[in-house]
């Protein structure tokens, strides 16, 4: 690993934004300019089996700048945001010995927050309990999980994304395993970091974003998304596959809808996902927003914010 250290305080450039906005391309340009490496904060791209449906960086993109946390897990692996926080901080400790700046990009707001602000330590339940809760979901659907959560932790029930089964199942696991509420274990207190953080958000007019989502969905189909999903049929109950692009193709493979309808559903659900991402990131007042093509302005902004200690 070459050393590019200068007289900078270590800085993490955080590059969030909605799906299909162009984060990978922008991150690579930033990494090349600052001669550094990229950390992915896209929780779907962690899984090596999910390439096409997650728009994972291509081999050419991976060769253009070194990436971390891309295809580092199997969908059979258990993983959570607490582990991600710990592993990224360990990696940053190593990278900052060589690079004054490191780039982190992705659309998973919870994972970005874990690195920037920390996340509460929550216990890992045993596999038997996890399987029980997954079975509840498989047999009774998300409404059953919602009712259970409302019963054991009504306060968290009011604020959680009730359409996200992973979040609900995780809260139920903690409540049942500890005998207390998920809410009581979430302190939501920012942890100090020994590096600077600069947040650069990417966005564009809604119509353009939605057009990009449509084009990218069509490209995924052309690249073989249906075949990718077919090959994962034996793992369809894993949480990693309960996501846009995979759920819709499974419905097609089950004969419930046509392929054309599945494609349209992917586009619709991806647009909804992008809106939720923008809502999440919109609450973060530390983010300065740019258009993806404004790379020169982004670089100038970052350079103006990087703190150099005074020369001794």
Q: What is the CATH number of the domain that holds 198?
A: 3.40.50.300
Q: Are residues 32 and 106 in the same domain?
A: yes
Q: Are residues 21 and 34 in the same domain?
A: yes
Q: Are residues 172 and 237 in the same domain?
A: no
Task: Supply the CATH number for residue 178's domain.
Answer: 1.10.20.140
What pLDDT is recorded for position 312?
37
> Which domain, by its residues, includes 257?
11-119+189-305
What pLDDT is recorded for position 310?
44
Classify residue 4: in a domain, yes or no: no
What pLDDT is recorded for position 255?
97
Q: What total of structural domains would you count in the chain? A: 2
Classify residue 311: in a domain, yes or no: no
Phi/psi at 117 (nearest 5 deg)?
Answer: -125, -15
What pLDDT is recorded for position 196?
95
Q: How far apart are CA 26 and CA 18, in angstroms?
A: 13
Cα dist. 298→82, 108, 197 in Å?
Answer: 30, 21, 14
What pLDDT is recorded for position 178?
78
Nearest partner of 174 among 70, 80, 76, 252, judged by Cα: 80
Q: Are residues 103 and 156 in the same domain?
A: no
Q: Which of 164, 185, 206 is the last residue of a domain?
A: 185
What pLDDT is recorded for position 143?
94
Phi/psi at 30 (nearest 5 deg)?
Answer: -65, -45
What pLDDT is recorded for position 179?
80
Q: Are residues 134 and 226 in the same domain?
A: no
Q: Are residues 249 and 193 in the same domain?
A: yes
Classify residue 165: in a domain, yes or no: yes
10-residue mean pLDDT profile of the chain (312 residues): values are 63 97 97 97 95 96 98 90 93 97 94 88 76 91 93 88 87 84 74 94 97 98 98 88 94 98 98 93 95 96 76 39
What pLDDT is recorded for position 188?
64
Q: Are residues 65 and 211 in the same domain?
A: yes
| Count of helix runs (H) and strand runs (E) in the chain | 14, 6
Q: Are residues 138 and 161 in the same domain?
A: yes
What pLDDT is recorded for position 219?
98
């Amino acid at each position: 690993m070459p050393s590019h250290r200068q007289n900078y305080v270590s800085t993490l450039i955080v590059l969030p934004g909605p799906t299909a906005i162009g984060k990978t391309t922008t991150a690579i340009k930033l990494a090349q300019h600052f001669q550094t490496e990229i950390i992915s904060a896209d929780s779907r791209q962690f899984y090596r089996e999910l390439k096409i449906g997650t728009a994972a960086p291509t081999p050419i993109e991976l060769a253009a700048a070194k990436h971390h946390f891309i295809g580092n897990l199997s969908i059979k692996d258990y993983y959570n945001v607490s582990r991600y926080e710990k592993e990224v901080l360990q990696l940053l400790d190593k990278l900052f010995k060589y690079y004054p700046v490191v780039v982190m990009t992705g659309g998973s707001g919870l994972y970005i927050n874990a690195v920037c602000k920390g996340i509460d330590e929550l216990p890992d339940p045993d596999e038997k309990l996890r399987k029980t809760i997954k079975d509840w979901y498989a047999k009774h659907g998300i409404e059953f999980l919602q009712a259970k959560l409302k019963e054991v932790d009504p306060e968290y029930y009011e604020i959680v994304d009730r359409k996200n089964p992973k979040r609900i199942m995780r809260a139920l696991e903690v409540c049942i395993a500890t005998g207390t509420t998920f809410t009581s274990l979430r302190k939501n207190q920012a942890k100090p970091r020994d590096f600077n953080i600069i947040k650069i958000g990417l966005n564009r007019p809604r119509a353009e974003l939605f057009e990009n989502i449509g084009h990218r969905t069509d490209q995924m189909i052309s690249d073989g998304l249906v075949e990718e999903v077919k090959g994962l049929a034996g793992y369809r109950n894993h949480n990693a596959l309960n996501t846009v692009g995979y759920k819709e193709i499974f419905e097609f493979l089950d004969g419930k809808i046509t392929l054309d309808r599945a494609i349209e559903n992917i586009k619709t659900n991806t647009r909804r996902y992008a809106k939720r991402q923008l809502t999440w990131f919109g609450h973060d007042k530390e983010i300065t927003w740019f258009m993806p093509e404004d790379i020169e302005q982004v670089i100038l902004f970052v350079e103006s914010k990087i703190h150099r200690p005074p020369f001794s």
